């Protein structure tokens, strides 16, 4: 398979190169924004786990340069064309051809990006190299947000808080599923801990989440501090992946809650549950939606023979299933489909080489010895 095979396999990989994004992840954020209007009224943002930096690029283009990056960037033009050919009754809104709008840079923009890996600089963005699970990162972040912050003070709250905290962090998965889910949840807790320190009331929090075993425990915890919690999956994220994004809006710090360095959320510490996370199951179980689909609102957790088979101190009331929302119109490129390349397609080099893996030296060493490194049949 030639150089362009990945372009065919993954439309977003190709689009990212063509549109100058450092990673295909940019589209995930853009599609989340399309659905949730994430950047509305936002000027101060923290981008956690940001390398190689495509989310920061989105922030830079939208907030600093004031551009609009709309649906046209990821639309598969064939979709509507094919629908038209099929003469499928009423065609979905194709009127929304966006006219290029004038750039409107925002004022007083502050963006801080953090990652373990070094990240090429981006104009107007403060990049920090740090581990978000490490407690020393909190003062580091506070200082970056507010140059007057005194790191020797014991305060761990931002004097001028931010509007939005993003985290796209993912560990290197091992394949031991429960461990991977645990480590990912630790990253989420770390991001939430930072968010609790820097987010303004009413602010938003968006983070990558692995939808796996016990993810409902995490949802329930997030619901304690945010008014609305939705699990969202952008079209640019593959159907086959466990990855999704938790979009939390209207931050409502619990009364008397203090973020703590010594006793962060995650291992051991939990947020006290309020009763509001319980869904109202009293309404009619059947609702007919506009599109004719009948939705069945039912208890899907406790079965007839409800003998609880979940040991542990967290009981059933600490579980809650966040509503799911797919983001991006169906006309968006399909991340799972194979695509015919546009005529005259030239495969471009990636904008940023991928960050060096820790086994880079092992690779080089092996290459010297002339062996095919890590070639396991069917690997990947």
Partner 1 sequence: MLEHVHHRVPVTALSFHRRDHVILAGHGNLLRGYDIDTGQILTNLKVFDDQAVHGILVTPDEDVLLVWGGRLVRKLNGHSISTYRPSNVYEARDWILDAALSPEDDCIAFVDAHNALTICNIRDLSAEDDGSTKPLATAVPSSNCILYSAHVTWLSGSQCLIASGTAFGDVMLWSASISRIADGSFTAVAQTHYTFSAHEGSVFGVQLSSKQQARRLGDGCDCLLASCSDDRQVKVWDVSDRFTNSHSLPQIQRDTGFGSKPEAEEHAPPCLAAAMGHVSRIWKIRFCDHDAQKGVEIMSFGEDASNILWSVKPDSEPGNQPFALKQVGVQNAHAGKQIWSVAAAEDGCFATGGADGAIAIHHAPNLPAEPSEIDRKMLEPGDNIRYYAFFNQGAMLATTDSGSVWTLQLGAAGTSSAREVLPALPALRGYSVVASISRLAFLAGSAGIVYMYNANTNKLTSVADCGKKVTGLFVSSHEKSHSVRLVDLLITTVGQSDPCYMRFVRDAISTAEYVSPREDHQPSLPIPEGFSITSFTTMEHAQPCIHLTLVGARNGSIAICNTSSDGHDGLIKLLPNVHGKEAVTALLWRSHGNKPTTLSGYLHSLGKDGTHAVHNIRRHDQKWEIELIHQLGLPFGPNIEGLTILPNDHLLIWGFRGKAFIVYDADAEQETMTVACGGAHRNFAFQPSVEGGTFVWTKASKIYQHMQTRRPYTLITPGDHGREIKAVSVSSTEDMQIFATGAEDTNIKLSTFDEKDGFRCVQTLRRHNTGIQHLCWSSACRYLFSSGGFEEFYVWRVTTGVPVLGGVGVVCESVHPNSGKSDLRILGFDISETRQKGVFDIVLAYSDSTLKQWSYDIGTWSLVSTIDYLTACLTEVFHTSGHVITTATDGHLALWDTEASASSLTWRTRHRTHQNAILGVAFRELHDRSSLVFTAGDDNAIGITRIEQCGAVRALLIPRAHTAAVTAVAVVPSDTDRNTLLLLSASIDQRVKLWTVSIDVTEPGVDGVHVKLQRNVATSVADVSSLALCRLAGDEGVGCVVCRVGMEIWRIGGGIRDTYLSRVSDEVIRE
How far separated are the first and last CA of the chain, in Å rounded? 16
Q: Is 125 in the site for ligand SAM (CB under 6 A)?
A: no
User: Using CB distances below 5 to 8 A depending on partner kind, what does residue 243 bind out of ligand SAM, partner 1, none?
Assistant: none
User: Using CB distances below 5 to 8 A depending on partner kind, what does residue 309 bind out of ligand SAM, partner 1, none?
Assistant: partner 1
Q: Is 266 in the site for ligand SAM (CB under 6 A)?
A: no
Separation between Cα atoms, residue 264 and residue 269, nearest integer Å:
7
Q: Which of residues 181-200 bind partner 1 (CB under 8 A)?
A: 182-183, 186
Name the 3-class secondary structure at 197.
Answer: helix
In the residue annotation, 204 being an active-site residue is answered as no
Residue pair 317/272 in contact (Cβ under 8 Å)? The answer is no
x/- string (CB under 8 A) for partner 1, residues 202-231?
Answer: ---------xxxxxx---------------
CB of 47 to ligand SAM, least distance (A): 7
User: Using CB distances below 5 to 8 A depending on partner kind, what does residue 218 bind out of ligand SAM, partner 1, none?
Assistant: none
Question: Binding residue per annotation — 55?
Answer: yes
- Between residues 198 and 232, which has the closer beta carbon with respect to partner 1? 232
For the chain, what is the radius of gyration of the CA atoms?
Answer: 22
Pull the structure tokens for residue 119: 């990240």
Burial of 260 (0-12, 13-18, 19+ CB in 10 A): middle
For tokens 């004038």, the residue is: 102
CA 373 to chain centre: 32
Give Dmax over CA atoms of the chain in angstroms: 69
Q: Is 117 in the site for ligand SAM (CB under 6 A)?
A: yes
Q: Give me the catalytic one of 110, 208, 223, 233.
A: 208
Q: Is 364 in the site for ligand SAM (CB under 6 A)?
A: no
Q: Do strands 243-251 and 286-288 pair parallel, antiparallel, or not at all (unpaired)?
A: unpaired
Q: Which of residues 12-41 bind partner 1 (CB under 8 A)?
A: none
Q: Is 309 in the site for partner 1 (CB under 8 A)?
A: yes
Is residue 40 reached through a cis peptide bond, with omega within 30 degrees of 0 on the bond before it? no
CB of 99 to partner 1, least distance (A): 25
Question: Binding residue per annotation — 37?
Answer: no
CA 273 to chain centre: 25
Binding residues for S-adenosyl-L-methionine: 53, 55, 115, 131, 168
């Amino acid at each position: 398979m030639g150089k362009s095979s990945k372009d065919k396999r993954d439309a977003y990989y190709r689009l990212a190169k063509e549109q100058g994004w450092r990673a295909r992840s940019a589209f995930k954020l853009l599609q989340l924004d399309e659905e949730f209007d994430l950047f509305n009224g936002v000027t101060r943002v923290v981008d956690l786990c940001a390398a190689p930096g495509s989310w920061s690029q989105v922030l830079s283009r939208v907030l600093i340069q004031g551009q609009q990056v709309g649906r046209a960037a990821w639309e598969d033009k064939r979709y509507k064309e094919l629908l038209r050919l099929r003469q499928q009754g009423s065609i979905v809104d194709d009127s929304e051809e966006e006219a290029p709008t004038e750039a409107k840079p925002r004022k007083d923009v502050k963006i801080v990006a953090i990652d373990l890996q070094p990240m090429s600089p981006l104009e107007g963005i403060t990049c920090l190299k740090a581990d978000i699970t490490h407690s020393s990162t909190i003062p580091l972040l506070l200082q970056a947000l507010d140059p007057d912050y005194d790191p020797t003070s014991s305060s761990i709250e931002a004097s001028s808080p931010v509007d939005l905290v993003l985290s796209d962090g993912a560990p290197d998965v091992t394949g031991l599923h429960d461990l991977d889910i645990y480590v990912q949840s630790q990253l989420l807790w770390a991001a939430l801990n930072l968010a609790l320190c820097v987010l303004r009331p009413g602010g938003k929090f968006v983070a990558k989440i692995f939808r796996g075993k016990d993810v409902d425990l995490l949802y329930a915890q997030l619901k304690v501090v945010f008014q609305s919690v939705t699990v969202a999956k952008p079209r640019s994220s593959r159907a086959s992946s466990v990855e999704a994004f938790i979009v939390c809006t209207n931050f409502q710090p619990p009364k008397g809650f203090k973020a703590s360095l010594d006793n962060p959320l995650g291992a051991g510490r939990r947020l006290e549950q309020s009763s509001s996370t319980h869904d109202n199951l009293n309404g009619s179980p059947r609702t007919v939606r506009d599109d004719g689909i009948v939705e069945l609102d039912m208890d899907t957790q406790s079965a007839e023979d409800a003998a609880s088979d979940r040991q542990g101190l967290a009981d059933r009331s600490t579980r809650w299933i966040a509503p799911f929302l797919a983001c991006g119109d169906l006309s968006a490129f399909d991340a799972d489909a194979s695509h015919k390349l546009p005529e005259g397609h030239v495969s471009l080099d990636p904008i940023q080489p991928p960050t060096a893996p820790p086994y880079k030296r092992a690779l080089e060493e092996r290459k010297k010895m002339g062996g095919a490194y890590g070639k396991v049949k069917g690997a990947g």
